[in-house]
Amino acid sequence: MKSSTKEVSTAGQGKSSRRQFLGGAAAGTAAVMSMGFPSIVSAQTPINFRFQSTWPTVDIFHEYALDFAKKINDMTGGELKIEVLPAGAVVPAFALLDAVSKGTLDGGHGVLGYNYGKQNALALFSSGPAFGMDANMILSWHKYGGGKELLAKLYDSIGGNVQSFLSGPMPTQPFGWFKKPVTKVEDLKGLKFRTNGLAIDLFTAMGAAVNALPGGEIVPALDRGLLDGAEFNNATSDRLLGFPDVSKVCMLQSFHQSSETFEIIFNKDKYAALPEKMKAIIANAVEASSADMSWKAVDRYSQDYIKLQKEDGVKFYKTPDAILQQQLTVWDQIVAEKSKTNPMFKEIETSQRAFAARAMAWDMDTNNNRRMAYNHYFGRKAAPKKS
C-alpha cells in the first residue's frame, strides 16, 4: 500500500511539473512575441501585377481572364494580386506582347494569332491546319509533345521577354457571319472579310480581301459596310459583341481556326523574380482555369446558340464540304510555302504533324459518334441546315 501511495504521489507531482513547464513555456512565448519579430508576425507585402486582356469588357473572353486572376488571388491568399484591365485600357489589343515584354504591363490574356505579324510561326499555336487536332489535343502536344519548348525558342528568336502559358481549349470556330449563305468557294472572291493569324493567308488565297481587326471593332465595321463577312469565335462572344444585330446568317464548321487556345503571358523578368511557391501556383492556376473555361464554355455557348436562333432570328448553316475540303488543300500550299522560308515554322509544323498522326488515330478509333447518340435521343432537328 505504501508503494502504491508513493506511485500515486509521484504521478501527481509529474502532472504538476508538466503544468508548471507548460505554463512557463506559454509565458516565455508571450514574452518573445511581445518583443516582436516582423518577419514572422506581420503579413507579407502583396505583390501587385497589372494585366490587360485583349478583349472588351462585354466579351466572355474578358470574363475568362477575370476567372484566371481570381484563382491566382485566391490561391495565394492575396500575396499575389492580379488586376485585369480590358483591351485598350493601357495599349491596343494587338500591342499586348510589346507592352508585356517591355514591362509596361506585368502580364496579359490573349491569343497567339494576334502576334502573327511578329513571326508567322506563332500562329501555328492558335490558327492553322493543326492536321485535324482539336484545341485540347493542341494543349496536349504543347505540354507533352514538345510545343512548350518550341514556343519558348520561338519567343527567344524574336526577343519576346515573356513567360508564356497556353490555356483554354476553344471549340471549332464558325466559318463566319455573312449577308447570305456561302454555298461555294467562288462566293469568297472579293469578299471583304475579317479574320486573324494564319487564317489571313488561308482566306486571302481563297479570294477574300482580308482585314484583321480586334474583337471590339468587328461589328461596327460590318455595320458600316467596311466588311462583308467576319468570324470571331463562339455563340456567346458573337452574341455579346452584337453580331446578330448586323447579320442573320452564320456558317458553322471551318478548318481556319479549329484548335485555338488562349495565351497567358507574364513579363519574363517579373515572373522570374517571384518566389518558387508563386510560380507553382501560377502553373496550376493556368491548368485549373483551362478546365474551368472549357466547362463554362459548354454551358454558356449552348445556351446562347439557342438564344441566337429563338430570340435573335439567326439562321445557322453547315459550311459545305466542298469549301472545307478546299480549306485543307489551301492549307497544304500555305504550310509548304511558309516552311521553305521559315525554319521555325517548319520545325513547329513537323512536330505538330507527328503528334497529330498518333493522337488523331487514337481519338477517332476510340470515341463514339455523338451524332448517332443525339439523333437517337433527341431527333434530327438540331443539325444545322445545309446551304
The reply, when asked if residue 20 is annotated as ligand binding, is no
Alpha carbon 305 to its chain's center: 21
Helix residue ranges, H only, the chain = 2-35, 38-41, 60-75, 96-102, 135-144, 147-157, 199-205, 215-223, 235-241, 243-246, 268-272, 276-310, 321-341, 343-366, 370-378
**Closest by CA position to 129, among listed 259, 31, 10, 227:** 259
Distance in angstroms (rounded) separating the CA atoms of residues 235 and 250 = 10
The reply, when asked if residue 163 is annotated as ligand binding, is no
The reply, when asked if residue 18 is annotated as ligand binding, is no
Whether 133 and 168 have beta carbons less than 8 Å apart is answered as no
Whether 282 and 167 have beta carbons less than 8 Å apart is answered as no
Cβ-based neighbour number of residue 249 at 10 Å: 17
What would the grid cell of residue 193 be?
Answer: 472579310
**Closest by CA position to 243, among listed 257, 253, 229:** 229
Kindly state the DSSP code that residue 122 receives in the 8-state scheme: G
Distance in angstroms (rounded) separating the CA atoms of residues 108 and 112 = 12
Whether 151 and 357 have beta carbons less than 8 Å apart is answered as no
Most distant CA pair in the chain: distance in Å? 112
Q: Count the alpha carbons within 13 Å of 279 in the hemisphere toward its beta carbon.
A: 12
**Closest by CA position to 98, among listed 52, 129, 141, 135:** 52
What would the grid cell of residue 262 be?
Answer: 488562349
The reply, when asked if residue 257 is annotated as ligand binding, is yes
Helix residue ranges, H only, 224-275 = 235-241, 243-246, 268-272
Distance in angstroms (rounded) separating the CA atoms of residues 190 and 188 = 6
Which residue type occupies 353?
R
Detail the residues annotated as belonging to a binding site: 173, 194, 231-232, 257
Residues in the annotated binding site for Na(+): 232
Binding residues for substrate: 173, 194, 231, 257
